[in-house]
Structure 1
């Protein structure tokens, strides 16, 4: 592995030729995959952490809510700093605070300190969205989609593996150990990044308040950003619907999976992350429109499979039928992740061709907006599960996918081929 070629970019903001070696790409993918583990890991640990800190079941979900709210805050407030301050300094400083926050989560003696630490962890996890535009900046336009796809593979693998990793570590060593080990891993990566990430001095010279104010101007002027954020928000809505409720379905008959079984199911679903580099290459070859439509069809198809595996086939009570239904649910998870990750990779490639001087703000807006879709999906999933069961969950997920397909199919072809 080589981390060579880390020249300093000039104060003028002029981009040099590619410095994104394979080793540096792998490092970025590993870094974002590890750092993002903390974002969703608390979801399967609610039943363990809550009682240990004196939180009842109505209060325990606050740990996930505050982590995600912190992440959203970081996207809108910290990520834009990469357009104002030297990038390596911002990234390393944010990750260093993330290490301290994770250590505080692992050691927190009271519920109040734990929840504050969860929020700070979410805020500093936004460092992953600082690394993505830097990767784009260091790649030539012809290879930018491939580079972003490779880095996104690490990011999405981290998201998909966060739940099973947390479940398995907590089962064998306790939930505090998970956060302690994660703090050590992030600390190690921070030290490596401090020495190998190239320095980049942004072109922006305005004040921080004006920088934040300019985000609304960017969003209102860039139709491509609006469109790609909407596509991904709808896809992430389906993603949130499925992954929020699937653990409940798997724990119920006829599957009756325990914590370890649900963890292995999530591991199988992580196979969908392989599509990120493929989608990036499709964008580089001018196939953005076709690949986007295919991604949205995959989301719809996945929810149809999820309905078949979770509701239709489970009406049969035989062991063989239950195994077949479980296999179909695994296929649904993989295909759903293929569609969501494919659309997100295509979107990131497209938006990173916009405004080189404002990549931090553009990435913050893109991620923050589609994150709202994920939150909406998670919220809708709970309501659908309570009132309509698994069939309702699948119907809501399919509705998100259908809306994404309708919006993308009615877009002007040339406007999508970026």
Structure 2
């Protein structure tokens, strides 16, 4: 039988098995949002809709995820977290099963939107890991869990492509539903009870998110930097498919999907960045990370004609972005330990907005300026991050 989280347990730490479990939960949950991306053409063909209409599936999942960031993730401070994680995983399994069996496009789109809502369990699991971790290991633990999340984002398209090739697109959602059920059971058995940190009403809980943003200047700074990092990440991956499928490369969909695995190098950097943060070197990590982020766009610029430079640029950018993300989260989770879920809501909402704006800007810049224009845009966004970082602290 699981015991309540105690001061003694927090001092001894979360343990490797629980850390890895939460990393898997994060990766598997966030992958649900991205499975549909390489399947749009196939799904559209089955339901007789055009590519533009099929692309609404991506929009539906993103809208669902954004709503959950605002209205579901804060519940991690108000409800017992282990139970909340288990319920969200089971809910995700149900709507994934609905997506797998959907007889029409409208029902599929509705199910995918609900998948986005329930997949926000990933953003409940990260502050849960921070809560269970001891003070001496919090950065490393958050880094490991975030590695799982990054692997989920970058690996989802490759997994979906292989599964759909073998058994059809419905099997992608069906197998994902099975994974969610298994994880819900394991979470219930392995994790301890984590009591809520707030006893206020739900409306007051939501209102307090804005209060945290208003009263914590370092949170605002990290929100801006998080938006910059995700903006650079989104600019790269929004435009990379266009570059790789056109001359001089002309790769097919399978190779383009596999190319995303180059970004997994960033997952290896996350625990190291976390350890440096635990040892008091977080500021150095951010400074170097932002400098490397700017430099990565010079490498990527050369990637328009050199596959080696392109792969190197992808690896360097993802290393920088992951290091920055871990440093930011290590800092913000220490600002208000009783409000980690609400802090996650504020931070991840800013990150999500940064990615959305960057995606829109890329869709304008790429047709006009091509790959070079995109790299100039990415470099400019990274320089904005450096400027924010060196602004005087208030």
Query: Into which bin does the TM-score normalised by the smaller protein fall?
Result: over 0.9
1:411 Cα offset (Å) = 4.3
Q: Distance in 1 between matches of 2:167 and 2:295?
A: 38
1:42 Cα offset (Å) = 2.1
Is the Cα–Cα contact under 8 Å of residues 237 and 400 in structure 1 kept in the other structure? yes
Q: Distance in 2 between matches of 1:260 and 1:168?
A: 9
Is the Cα–Cα contact under 8 Å of residues 15 and 137 in structure 1 kept in the other structure? no
Q: Distance in 2 between matches of 1:146 and 1:411?
A: 28
Task: Please state if 1:380 is matched with 2:349.
Answer: no
Q: Which runs of 5+ in 2 are unaligned?
A: none
1:14 Cα offset (Å) = 10
Is the Cα–Cα contact under 8 Å of residues 82 and 191 in structure 2 kept in the other structure? yes
Task: Please state if 1:116 is matched with 2:110.
Answer: yes
What TM-score do you get using the length of structure 2 for normalisation? 0.96
Q: Distance in 1 between matches of 2:128 and 2:162?
A: 33
Aligned length: 394
Q: Distance in 2 between matches of 1:163 and 1:366?
A: 26
Structure 1 segments of 4+ aligned residues over 4 angstroms from their partners: 13-16
- 2:43 pairs with 49, 56, 67, which one? 49
Q: Which runs of 5+ in 1 are unaligned?
A: 315-324
Which residue is equivalent to 2:18? 24
Q: Distance in 2 between matches of 1:193 and 1:112?
A: 33
1:357 Cα offset (Å) = 1.4
- 1:65 pairs with 53, 59, 63, which one? 59
Q: Distance in 2 between matches of 1:342 and 1:190?
A: 29
Is the Cα–Cα contact under 8 Å of residues 263 and 315 in structure 2 kept in the other structure? yes
- 1:232 pairs with 198, 215, 226, which one? 226
Question: Deviation digits for residues 351-391 of structure 1, max 9, x if unmatched?
Answer: 11121211111111111111111111111111111221111
Is the Cα–Cα contact under 8 Å of residues 10 and 133 in structure 2 kept in the other structure? no
Q: Distance in 2 between matches of 1:177 and 1:281?
A: 39
Q: Distance in 1 between matches of 2:319 and 2:142?
A: 16
What TM-score do you get using the length of structure 1 for normalisation? 0.91
Question: Deviation digits for residues 114-146 of structure 1, max 9, x if unmatched?
Answer: 111111000001101111111111112121101
Q: Distance in 1 between matches of 2:106 and 2:187?
A: 32
- Other structure's SS at 1:282 match: helix
Q: Distance in 2 between matches of 1:115 and 1:47?
A: 14
Which residue is equivalent to 2:311? 330
Which residue is equivalent to 1:319? none
Question: Deviation digits for residues 221-269 of structure 1, max 9, x if unmatched?
Answer: 1111111111010111111111011011101112111111112211122
Q: How large is the Cα RMSD of the aligned pairs?
A: 1.7
1:331 Cα offset (Å) = 1.1
